[in-house]
Amino acid sequence: MEHVVKSIPMHIDNLDCQMGFIRSDEAGDFLAFLVGEDVSGAINGSAFGTISIKEILDYVEKKTGHTAILSDDGEEAPYNGEPEYSINTEKATALGFRFSNLKDWIYELLDYYLAEIL
pLDDT tens digits for range 12-30: 999 999 999 999 999 999 9
pLDDT tens digits for range 77-117: 988 988 888 899 999 999 999 999 999 999 999 999 999 99
C-alpha angle with apex 56: 66 to 67, nearest 5 degrees? 15
Q: Which pLDDT score, from 0 to 100, does residue 82 have?
A: 85
Q: Which pLDDT score, from 0 to 100, does residue 32 have?
A: 96
- 112 vs 114: CA distance, rounded Å: 5
Instruction: State mean pLDDT over 1-20.
Output: 94
How much is the pTM?
0.86
